[in-house]
Structure 1
């Protein structure tokens, strides 16, 4: 087994990413974004490719929560808004599937991960509540922001590991 500069760069940046916990950034969402960078090719262009499906997936999850709220008020649910949740998820995931037919959004990994990160993160309240800010907007900033920071950490991993290669050449 050969240990390389990338191994050290990722480990060090992973430790640095924990500092974001001091301001309640959901570091787990950062790691998801970081994974996208590695899975999708590790090029600077990967950052641009991640942004549109990230935004689309997250906004569709926001729409799901808006629909859950609206449908819950209709009285169709008896317990835990389950019926409202099912209807909202069916509608928004169908829209997500349609979005994948658009070339700039055709990245199911990022779209579905962004949707699920936001869905779980918002439902679990894993974002810093800011008084006076609507919870959905607040969650978008923290959870989607963490996903994007993760993509940047992926880019930084490659950059840091390439610095050591330049010094040895």
Structure 2
């Protein structure tokens, strides 16, 4: 392994475990209007999302947000996005030839339902950056981020793991 490769690996290792940025708190609390819009857009007719009477009789005891709305609560909308560490890492990898980016997978795990009135925070960190792999796209590294979503009382509602492949495009010969 060359000194350059060792230096690159050392810098990459320094990112693992680091926070992606400050904890983001949703601008608005979980609310029935947004839940209703989401359910309509997704054509999800589950009554625990929109029917107060039926939801009250469910195991949840009232309206809950669809778990798949998880990210919607903390997205910045049209607000300028604060540059986070993920942007810095992608730029660093691009400087070292890993200019191509492909999203590979997303995993969400749900622990507690979000209810109207809950205020959600998202805290992200760099979970892993893999060693270089040989792929059909070219030499590559997987960048995995992990977000934890909590309510204001500290309850862990869900986790969201997102993985992208940053690769060095290979020259195609004809």
Q: Which has the higher strand share?
A: 2
Q: Which has the higher helix share?
A: 1
TM-score (norm 1): 0.26
With a CA cutoff of 8 Å and minimum separation of 6, indicate the structure with the bigger relative contact order.
Answer: 1
TM-score (norm 2): 0.26
